[in-house]
């Protein structure tokens, strides 16, 4: 899955367009004028996926376009809770799954066929956006690395957006940096919105309330001029167009440069 772009937003939904590469193992070609699937998690509808006017040929199929609507409100209040939790897990790099299922309106002019096939479902891993680190080739998460400035008590993060063309805004951040998973280094509470453009970018220098009494602080001082692996936990309010969501984030082993 690649070239993830936003085609529209509402207060509850992100309308996305993504390109997919796959292999058709048969010797047959097919034209798909319209096909729609519901996307579910824990038996709640959290969105749908639509294919329009696509050609499938034998062998490798590239840039197959799918329109996806991420809209947990389709599942009511329960769906919104499930969607928020699932999105948090996804951006934190957890292995998550989605269930796809046909419904009565899945196939144009074939409601009976769609209804019959809706008895079956398929659970698959949530596809990751292809966005490898140019140096290591490994998959990148939301926070790639960080730099802590001791004297100014600030931190700057290298952020990696999954979107190819759209800018995300982080409206609020309440986060804690930890050493060895449990020892608090400092906290960041920041209410000024800042941009996360497509690709890799730098956050502003964010003020850090350093915990000088914590057991992790001596490790921070010893690492001045070098690097330290830190963990991050927090809640973040993200905004894209009309859509806003508050999610939690967990990152472990983040490479952090420690500077005066």
> Model's pTM, two decimal places?
0.86
Confidence label for 130 from pLDDT (cuts 50, 70 and 90): low
Dihedral sign of CA atoms 233, 196, 48, 138 in order: negative
Each domain of the chain, given as residue ranges in start order, spans 2-125, 143-259
**pLDDT at 1 > cutoff 70:** no
User: CATH number for the 2-125 domain, one of 2.60.40, 3.90.660, 3.40.50, 1.10.3210?
Assistant: 2.60.40
pLDDT, residue 133, reads 59
What's the pLDDT tens digit per position in 11-42?
999 999 999 999 999 999 999 999 999 999 99
Could you tell me if 203 and 236 are in contact, meaning their C-beta atoms sit under 8 angstroms apart? no
Could you tell me if 145 and 255 are in contact, meaning their C-beta atoms sit under 8 angstroms apart? yes
Same fold, 2-125 and 143-259: yes
pLDDT, residue 182, reads 86
What's the pLDDT tens digit per position in 158-187?
999 888 889 999 999 999 999 888 888 899
pLDDT, residue 142, reads 82
CATH architecture of the region 143-259: Sandwich (2.60)
Residue 86 token pair? 């699932």
Quote the distance between the C-alpha of residue 74 and its chain's center: 20
Mean pLDDT of all residues belonging to the chain: 90
pLDDT, residue 163, reads 86
Residue 6 token pair? 């936003």
Could you tell me if 251 and 218 are in contact, meaning their C-beta atoms sit under 8 angstroms apart? no
d(CA 118, CA 104): 7
Dihedral angle over CA of 71, 76, 81, 86, nearest 10: -40
Confidence label for 149 from pLDDT (cuts 50, 70 and 90): very high
d(CA 175, CA 28): 52
């Amino acid at each position: 899955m690649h070239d993830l772009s936003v085609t529209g937003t509402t207060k509850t939904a992100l309308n996305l367009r993504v390109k997919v590469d796959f292999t058709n193992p048969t010797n047959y070609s097919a034209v798909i004028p319209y096909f729609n699937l519901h996307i579910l998690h824990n038996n709640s509808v959290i969105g749908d996926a639509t294919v329009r006017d696509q050609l499938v040929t034998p062998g490798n199929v590239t840039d197959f376009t799918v329109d996806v609507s991420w809209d947990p409100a389709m599942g009511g209040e329960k769906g919104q809770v499930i969607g928020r939790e699932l999105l948090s897990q996804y951006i934190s790099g957890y292995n998550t799954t989605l269930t796809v299922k046909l419904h009565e309106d899945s196939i144009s002019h074939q409601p009976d066929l769609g209804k019959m096939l809706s008895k079956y479902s398929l659970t698959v891993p949530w596809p990751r956006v292809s966005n490898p680190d140019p140096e290591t080739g490994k998959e990148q998460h939301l926070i790639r690395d960080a730099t802590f400035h001791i004297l100014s008590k600030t931190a700057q993060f290298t952020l990696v957006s999954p979107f190819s063309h759209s800018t995300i805004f982080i409206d609020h951040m309440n986060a804690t940096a930890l050493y060895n998973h449990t020892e608090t280094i400092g906290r960041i509470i920041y209410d000024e919105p800042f941009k996360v453009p497509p690709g890799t970018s730098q956050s502003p220098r964010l003020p850090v309330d350093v915990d000088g009494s914590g057991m992790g602080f001596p490790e921070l001082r010893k690492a001045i001029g070098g690097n330290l692996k830190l963990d991050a936990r927090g809640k973040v309010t993200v905004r894209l167009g009309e859509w806003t969501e508050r999610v939690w984030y967990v990152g472990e082993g983040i490479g952090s440069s420690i500077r005066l």
